Amino acid sequence: MSGSPPDRKPTDPSTWIGKTPDRIAALSEYFAKGADEYTPEALRRAASESGFSPDEIEQAYARAEERRRANDSVRPIRRRARRVVLAAYGLVYLVFAVLFLTSSNRYGGGVIALIILTIVLGIALLISVAWVNRRRPTAEQLEGALATMLALPLILLVAVAGLCVASSGPGAFGLF
């Protein structure tokens, strides 16, 4: 991609129409994807040259801006949710690692249990972080967005930790 952003012409927005039946939604997506690479004027001009009406262009641009503002308002909440999830998973991993490695197990059972815990907790962590990253709360849901983002990750964490406690056997770590 050579040249400065004003010199380069964006791709033809009419090629995006096949991706969604709604012309305005397609154009809005086009504006959102091209916002980092092209000026708004270049994107509007490309849309106009592709046969979009001025009204469609304005509606699509307004949708793209609304989506951008919503994403900007959710970004700090998402960052906080990620930190809480990582801290919770890290703390649980640390507790179980200490329990597994300090208990008197035969044949290296604690190490094997820790390896299994690492794999299972790692998968649950990946699912949890993906969940937090995918949540797209609306402006009305921003107040409860953190709780919504943390719901699935904490349920997964409790389930994995509960299975670890249950599978370690009663009295294995002096917990029961």
Distances (CA, A) of 82 to 30, 68, 116, 150: 29, 20, 23, 9
CA–CA gap between residue 63 and residue 65 (Å, rounded): 5
Number of neighbours of residue 35 by Cβ within 10 angstroms: 15
Nearest to 34 by CA among 20, 48, 47: 47
Calculate the average pLDDT of the chain.
77
Would you place residue 24 in the very low, low, confident or very high pLDDT band (cuts 50, 70, 90)?
A: confident
Query: Does 98 score more than 80 pLDDT?
Result: yes
CA–CA gap between residue 171 and residue 168 (Å, rounded): 8
- pLDDT value of residue 31: 84
For 99-143, what is each residue's pLDDT tens digit?
A: 888 876 667 777 888 888 899 889 999 988 888 888 776 656 666
Long-range contacts of residues 30-37, Cβ cutoff 8 Å, at least 24 apart: 30/60, 31/60, 31/61, 31/64, 32/64, 32/67, 32/68, 34/10, 35/64, 35/68, 37/1, 37/5, 37/8, 37/10
Query: Does 42 score more than 70 pLDDT?
Result: yes
Q: What is the pTM of this model?
A: 0.60
Supply φ then ψ for residue 31, to 5 degrees.
-65, -40
- Range with the poorest average pLDDT among 11-15, 27-31, 76-80, 106-110: 11-15
Nearest to 81 by CA among 117, 33, 129: 129
Query: Does 65 score more than 80 pLDDT?
Result: yes
Residue 126: helix, strand or coil by DSSP?
helix
Query: Does 159 score more than 80 pLDDT?
Result: yes
